[in-house]
Amino acid sequence: MKDAKTRVAIIGGGPAGLMLSHILGVNGIANVVLERQSMAYVASRIRAGVLEYGTAELLKEYGLADRMLREGKAKNGALIVWENRPDFFIDLKKWTGKQMWAWGQTNIQEDLHDMLTASGAKMVHEADEVALRDVTGNPSVTYVKDGIQHRLSCDFICGCDGFHGPSRQAIPRDVRREFERVYPFGWLGILVERPPLENFTYAYHSDGMAMAAQRNPMLSRYYVQAPITDRIEDWSDDRFWEALLRRFPNDLASQVQTGPSIEKSMAPLRSFVSEPLRWGKLFLAGDAGHIVPPTGAKGLNLAFSDVFYLSRALCTHYLEGSDHYLDCYSEMALRRIWASENISWRLTKMLHIFPDDDPFDQRMRESDYDLLLGSEAAQKALAYEYLGLPFED
Ligand code: RFL
Ligand code: PHB
């Protein structure tokens, strides 16, 4: 067994884990990231593409926004189109005076990795059998790397290991309270090397939702709602484009530039929150503690807001000797998490076809949309939620 010591052990090298490592490193707080996969694998995952205003500001503050400012696109909002009803633009600029950014998670992950490598940060990739020990006493994390057992002793463990990682399970079952909605459909997504539509666009259609997203001037991402039981092999490119174009109104469908997919994947939809986010010296951040369906583009943004709160708490502990923010981390992060769970759930309900819905549910869905079309108060509220709530002091 090889022994080592650090202040903060971070499990998981996704966006939450790497961003936390970066902020702690900038503040001179020793930390080690333990990631199960190789860097190449982590970098190849295609995920989110919309950054809330607060996420973009956090990237700017920590020197991670140069490429976003050069190659990404500031956006004034997102479009909703609806079969046989007028279009609606979630007008962030008009109602909040702020913008969001079209900038992919894959790029952020790359920039974080490069920044951490350049600063000599400690990242262990392909760490097997990661296990959390004595999280309410003298915490440590054990793992196996290249067949050799390691023990990393630390002051705190940050569980940034996503929905399937071991950190959440280290909180005893009788302490943990889990809240969950599982949806009976997924989002089948493709990447295509073609210019995207101007706007991120959510389309409601009686066949199911469809969505247009974007990565850069020559890379588009499109999604269609599909039964979760469907396999990727069931969806040829032709079938995908046919479904997508049918679900978009003609004027938009005619602007979609189709082509061969370079990636195709099925994302399940789930709403999930585990409370509390702290147990002893263990703190959960990002997907380790909660999941949202992709409809509001909140998953990555929530991971970053958790990291904002957690890094502030750890910096205040080490640099100012105060545990105030550590003690209120779980409560404070959960307030924002529940707000994002709420908007993601409402948008998911409004924009998708649910197999068991009856005509009453359908009228409720249409009346939700009509309220948006007709009420400036509803438009303003949605703009604030889509932009992302501010971080608490
Ligand atoms: P991640 O990105 O899942 O990273 C967790 C990391 O922990 C590692 N890990 C372990 N490491 C060591 N030992 C173990 N035993 C470990 N077990 C796991 C994993 O290998 C991984 O590298 O969580 P993080 O950092 O909290 O970031 C969260 C975001 O990635 C996530 O919220 C979003 O990507 C969610 N999401 C989307 N969000 C959006 O806002 N818009 C989207 O379009 C969108 N698309 C998606 C998504 C998530 C998806 N998943 C999870 C399947 C599409 C997909 C397919
Ligand atoms: C994406 O860019 O892939 C994306 C954007 C907005 C969403 C979901 C996915 O709501």
pLDDT value of position 212: 98
Q: Does residue 48 have a pLDDT over 90?
A: no
Pocket residue to mutate for ligand 2, from 223, 244, 382, most atoms within 8 A of Cβ: 223
pLDDT reading at 43 higher than 90: no
How many whole angstroms separate alpha carbon 271 and alpha carbon 291? Answer: 5
Q: How far apart are CA 51 and CA 215, in angstroms?
A: 12
CA 350 / ligand 2 centre spacing (Å)? 16
Measured in Å, residue 373 CA sits from the centre of ligand 2 at: 22
The answer to whether the CB of 152 is under 6 A from ligand 1 is: no
Superfamily of domain 2-52+105-180+270-367, CATH level 4: FAD/NAD(P)-binding domain (3.50.50.60)
CA count, 13 A, side-chain hemisphere, 377: 1
For ligand 1, atom 47, name the residue with the nearest CA: 47
Q: Under 8 Å CB-to-CB from 145, ≥6 apart: which residues?
A: 124, 126, 127, 128
């930390």: which residue's tokens?
A: 31
Using CA atoms, how far apart are residues 377 and 256, in angstroms rounded to an integer? Answer: 32
The letter for the amino acid at 288 is A
Q: Do residues 48 and 141 touch, judged by C-beta distance below 8 A?
A: no
CA of 203 to the centre of ligand 1 (A): 25
pLDDT digits (tens, 9 = 90+) for 193-248: 999 999 999 999 999 999 999 999 999 999 999 999 999 999 999 999 999 999 99
Tokens of 38: 């190789």
Kindly give the number of the ligand 1 atom that is closest to the alpha carbon of 213. 43
SS (H, E, C) the chain: CEEEECCEEEECCCHHHHHHHHHHHHCCCCEEEECCCCHHHHHHCCCCCEECHHHHHHHHHCCCCHHHHHHCEEECEEEEEECCEEEEEEEHHHHHCCCEEECCHHHHHHHHHHHHHHCCCEEECCCEEEEEECCCCCCEEEEEECCEEEEEECCEEEECCCCCCCCHHHCCCCCCEEEEEEEEEEEEEEEECCCCCCCCEEEECCCCCEEEEEEECCEEEEEEEEECCCCHHHCCHHHHHHHHHHHCCHHHHCCCCCCCEEEEEEEEEEEEEEECCEECCEEECHHHCEECCHHHCCHHHHHHHHHHHHHHHHHHHHHHCCCHHHHHHHHHHHHHHHHHHHHHHHHHHHHCCCCCCCHHHHHHHHHHHHHHHHCHHHHHHHHHHHHCCCCCC
d(C-alpha 17, C-alpha 32), whole Å: 10
C-alpha span between 84 and 114 (Å, rounded)? 48
CA neighbor of 24 nearest in space, from 40, 7, 3: 7
Centre of ligand 1 from the C-alpha of residue 162, in Å: 5
Query: Which of the pair, 386 or 43, is modelled with greater confidence?
Result: 386
Structural domain boundaries in the chain: 2-52+105-180+270-367
Ligand with the closest atom to the CA of 292? 1
Closest CA to 11 of 152, 121, 176, 175: 152
β-strands 122-124, 31-34: how paired? parallel
Dump pLDDT digits (tens) for 78-124.
999 999 999 999 999 999 999 999 999 999 999 999 999 999 999 99
Which amino acid is residue 97, in one-letter code?
A: G
* Ligand 1 binding pocket mutation candidate from 116, 152, 161 (most atoms within 8 A of CB): 161
Indicate if ligand 1 lies below 6 Å from the C-beta of 111. Answer: no
Give the torsion through C-alpha atoms of 277, 46, 295, 388, to 10 deg.
60
Residue 45 pLDDT > 90? no
Is the model's pLDDT at 187 over the cut of 90? yes
Task: Name the pLDDT band for 388 (thresholds 50, 70, 90).
Answer: very high
Q: CB neighbours (10 Å) of residue 393? A: 5
